[in-house]
Chain A
Amino acid sequence: MSTSPFDPQDAAIVFDGVTKAFGAHKVLQGLDLVVPKGKCTVIIGRSGTGKSVTLKHAMGLIQPDAGRVTVLGKELGRLKREELQRLRLRFGMVFQNAALFDSLSVYENVAFPLREHEKLTEAETLSRVEAVLAQVGLSFAIQKMPSELSGGMRKRVGLARAIIHTPDILLYDEPTTGLDPILTAQIDELIAATQQNHPAMASVVVSHDMKGAFMVADYIYMLHQGKVVAQGPPEHFKTTDDPLVRQFVEGRLDGPIGVE
């Protein structure tokens, strides 16, 4: 396996030999990866290979059993609670099921990070919310409640909430899971457009959807059994004859990845 071409000194996120187990279940088993700034990195792998757990480690929502996670030059394990909170302000996260606050309207959801951390007038807040909702094509839904929205719309609101404070790192947890193929294409396009609109930002997309990965990725890591087993730009994944990658990309039952 080749090592990543990115300089860990100037990376957004670095995982260095991270292991994590929940009880007897080992999820990460020595994970090494580097997420560069200004690019869209996609982490693929089967369900249960530790992709979402990886994202939660990056934000310090979970602490590793061993190994180090470094974000924007700061090692998470050494940070105090307040420092970690401040570092989290530089993240945006799009959750698998959007995780919108269902007691708040779309407007209040999207305005939430601003109201918590920036002292803006109500008019400034409104114009920022309108701007990001326009980016995700949901200007009309500003007064709706999350329960009135479809799955795809909820994810777009989740994206608007994640980018409203212009984060340095944007994390997507399975952004297209559970959507139909057309909505999937719409969200993938939105991910690519968001990266283009914020060229300095690092995006990390966790997914098992290869089509989407090829569409949005600058660089792909493939996780299997808690480790990186393949990495490279999308072309590498299209052309390699590594049997692990081929089986996953082509979605075949027979191959080195056991199906229980």
Chain B
Amino acid sequence: MITRLVEGVGAAVIRVVERFGSFAEVAVRGTWTLFTPPFRPRLILQQLEFVGVQSLSIVLISGFFTGGVFALQAAYGFGLFGAETLTGSTVTLSLSRSLGPVFCSLMVTGRAGSAMAAEIGTMKVTEQIDALESMAVDPVEYLVSPRVIAGAIMVPVLSALYTGIGMIGAYMVSVPYMGIDGGAFLDRIAWYADPEDLHWGLIKASVYGWLLAAVGCWKGLSVRGGAQGVGQATTEAVVVSSVAILVLDYFFTDILMKLGLLT
């Protein structure tokens, strides 16, 4: 009984370590090969367009309404003790420090991370990955590198846009709609929010962008079986990336605050 339990736990640990190892291999080699020839500017541009430009509309729409709903809730809460003018600064701080990078990364995970897993997974089951290897092209270098760099560059850009449009949404809800004084709203933002807040938010977004692309590619490359395997990999890519981003964001924020880099 006890030996079976130990065996079971041991096997589970080995599985987790193996899976993490295979992820680390894809993520590290996918990043490393960016700095070694051959360089692939055309593929990188394609991925920048795919991750960045094509995510623009969902990021702008979701950012506007996130800012809006946040302002609705915050204005109500602050209104209970007559501090409605703090709405703008609260929304701004939350969006630029955490919500912008996190929500934006989650949107890009759903749109681009899942597509990476599905595309690479389909290439795997149709032997296109084997074909690359048979032509002496490293699939990690050819497929993963352009995607991880595109994630790391484009997600912070999108996140900054998300934060910006979120602030506009918050302003639209607070000032014209709820009648909060516009001058005070903006003044409080200038008073409480620092460029530091945005700057750490962008670094976080870059890490999450790298992560969601690496997870999507890793899940795609580890597909087994046919269409079912591709579907499963796509789902897992979204779930693993989303959970990892949320967990990582907590620890990131906590560590930055402990180090005194965020106050």
B133 A95 Cβ-Cβ under 8 A: no
Tell me how many residues of A have a C-beta within 8 Å of chain B.
20
Q: List 13 A-B contacts (CB under 8 A).
A: A59-B134, A61-B134, A85-B138, A88-B136, A89-B136, A95-B127, A95-B130, A96-B127, A99-B130, A101-B128, A112-B135, A116-B38, A116-B135
**Chain B residues closer than 8 Å to A96, beta-carbon distance:** 127
B137 within 8 A of A: yes
A91 within 8 A of B: yes
Closest chain A residue to B131, Cβ basis: A99
Using an 8 Å CB-CB cutoff, how does the interface string of A47-88 with B read, 1 for contact, 0 for none? 000000000100101000000000000000000000001101
Give the distance in Å from the alpha carbon of A59 to the alpha carbon of B130 in the complex: 10
- Tell which of B123, B128, B130, B136 touches A116, judged by Cβ atoms closer than 8 Å: B136
The 3 closest A-B pairs by CB, nearest first: A99-B127, A99-B131, A88-B136
Give the distance in Å from the alpha carbon of A59 to the alpha carbon of B133 in the complex: 9
B136 A86 Cβ-Cβ under 8 A: yes
A: residues with CB less than 8 A from B are: 56, 59, 61, 85-86, 88-89, 91, 93, 95-97, 99-102, 112-113, 116-117
**Chain B residues closer than 8 Å to A97, beta-carbon distance:** 126-127
**Chain A residues closer than 8 Å to B130, beta-carbon distance:** 56, 61, 95, 99
B136 A93 Cβ-Cβ under 8 A: no
Using an 8 Å CB-CB cutoff, how does the interface string of B104-139 with A read, 1 for contact, 0 for none? 000000000000000000010011101101111110
B137 A93 Cβ-Cβ under 8 A: no
Give the distance in Å from the alpha carbon of A43 to the alpha carbon of B161 in the complex: 59
B136 A117 Cβ-Cβ under 8 A: yes
A88 B133 Cβ-Cβ under 8 A: yes
Closest chain B residue to A81, Cβ basis: B138
Most buried by A among B130, B131, B133, B134: B134
Further contacts, 14 of them, CB under 8 A, given A88-B136, A95-B127: A56-B130, A61-B133, A85-B136, A85-B138, A88-B134, A89-B136, A95-B131, A99-B127, A99-B130, A100-B131, A112-B135, A113-B135, A116-B135, A117-B136
